[in-house]
Each structure stands twice: as structure tokens, then as C-alpha cells.
């Protein structure tokens, strides 16, 4: 749900509570909602003008802050807008942002839009010497959303045969969590591996 629709719903809810006769109160509520809407629009415009690292890496800024405070779908929309605005991003930056956009839409249970973003989150071709099996990781996420367990297991094997970083194979624990929680929504399946990591 975008900001305009969100605040429209909020206004309608307040109006029902206030009643039909209190026109002054309705105007006050409408004005407050408009102010809030433009405030968040201004904040998002600030994010859209950030450099890549601030927008993508800072947990207190960019799309990550929007995901925490407003919602996953809103964060996905913001990433889409950032990609349209910044056509000069490098291939790895574009790939990374498309992946995060896909995650945000998948977290919001909008799998159709998520799949479109994940398709653009792969290297073509994957760079030689890359320390992770990135395309296989993206394909495993796509397979999970499509409920294709055979493909998911194939991707898992590709990742398991990849290089280690500090004794650990990147993303293997995430994919194992997707397999273990195959029948759950993506958000639950993905977050399960983070809960396990925190308990260690």
C-alpha cells in the first residue's frame, strides 16, 4: 500500500469515528494526514538523493529505515525509485539493490513482484573469482517462492560446493533454512536462520 492509499484509509477511519456532523474535526484530521504524507514524502526524497552506501548499508537510513518504520512494501517501492533515479550504478550495486527489493516484496507476501526483481538480481555472466555462488543463491530464493523444491535442492548443492569465507560457506545457512521451512511464508523461512544464529 503506497503512502496516498495508506493515509486515505486512515482518514476514512477517523471520519467514521468522528461522525458526520463534526466538519471542523474532519478538516483537522485531513490536514494532519496531509502534513504527515508530505513529511514522509520529503524524507523519502532525501533518501533518494543519498549515495549508494548510505542508501543501502546504513541501518538508520535509506530503504532499511523505511522497512523498519513504514513497511516492507514501502521499502521495496523506495528501492525501485532509487534504481530508476540512479542509472549510473555499477552492475554489482544494481544486482544487490534488485535483490533487496525482491526480499522486501517477498517479505510483504507480494511474490509476483518479488520474482520480477529477483530476475534482475543475477549476474550475466557471474564474474569469475566471485567468492560466493551468488546466482545460485538468487535462484534458490526464486525456487522457494515458486515452491520448486527440486530446483531449490539443486541450488543448495551448488552453494555447498562453493568457496568458504572464514571457514563458512556464504548463504548456505539461509538456503538450509528455506528448505527446512519450505511450507512457510518467505519471511518466516528467512528469519528462522537469523534466530538460530542469534542463539549460537
Q: Which residues pair with 165 in a beta bridge?
A: 168
Instruction: Bin 190: left if φ > 0, else alpha if -120 < ψ < 50, else beta.
Output: alpha
Q: What is the pLDDT of residues 56-76, one digit of tens each?
A: 999 999 999 999 988 999 999
How far is residue 72's CA from residue 93's CA, in Å, rounded to a whole number?
20
- With 0-12 / 13-18 / 19 or more C-beta atoms within 10 angstroms meaning exposed / middle / buried, residue 189 is buried
pLDDT band at 37 (very low <50, low <70, confident <90, very high): very low
* pLDDT at site 76: 97
* pLDDT at site 4: 47
Mean pLDDT of 42-53: 82
- With 0-12 / 13-18 / 19 or more C-beta atoms within 10 angstroms meaning exposed / middle / buried, residue 195 is exposed
Q: Look at 32-46, 82-96, 138-152, 171-185 and tell me which has the smallest mean pLDDT.
A: 32-46
How far is residue 22's CA from residue 91's CA, in Å, rounded to a whole number?
56
Mean pLDDT of 114-139: 95
* pLDDT at site 18: 52
* pLDDT at site 128: 87
| Nearest alpha carbon to residue 104 among 130, 82, 125, 124 | 82
pLDDT of residue 140 exceeding 80, the answer is yes
Amino acid at each position: 500500500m503506497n503512502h496516498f492509499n495508506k493515509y486515505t484509509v486512515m482518514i476514512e477511519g477517523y471520519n467514521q469515528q468522528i461522525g458526520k456532523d463534526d466538519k471542523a474535526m474532519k478538516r483537522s484530521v485531513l490536514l494532519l494526514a496531509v502534513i504527515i504524507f508530505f513529511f514522509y514524502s520529503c524524507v523519502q526524497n532525501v533518501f533518494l538523493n543519498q549515495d549508494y552506501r548510505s542508501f543501502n548499508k546504513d541501518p538508520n537510513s535509506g530503504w532499511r529505515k523505511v522497512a523498519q518504520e513504514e513497511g516492507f512494501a514501502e521499502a521495496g517501492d523506495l528501492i525501485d525509485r532509487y534504481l530508476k533515479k540512479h542509472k549510473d550504478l555499477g552492475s554489482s550495486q544494481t544486482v544487490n539493490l534488485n535483490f533487496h527489493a525482491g526480499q522486501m516484496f517477498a517479505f510483504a507476501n507480494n511474490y509476483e513482484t518479488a520474482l520480477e526483481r529477483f530476475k534482475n538480481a543475477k549476474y550475466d555472466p557471474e564474474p569469475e573469482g566471485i567468492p560466493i555462488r551468488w546466482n545460485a543463491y538468487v535462484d534458490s530464493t526464486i525456487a522457494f517462492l515458486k515452491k520448486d523444491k527440486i530446483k531449490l535442492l539443486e541450488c543448495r548443492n551448488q552453494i555447498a560446493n562453493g568457496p568458504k569465507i572464514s571457514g563458512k560457506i556464504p548463504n548456505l545457512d539461509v538456503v538450509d533454512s528455506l528448505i527446512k521451512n519450505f511450507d512457510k511464508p518467505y519471511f518466516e523461512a528467512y528469519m528462522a536462520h537469523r534466530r538460530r544464529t542469534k542463539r549460537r
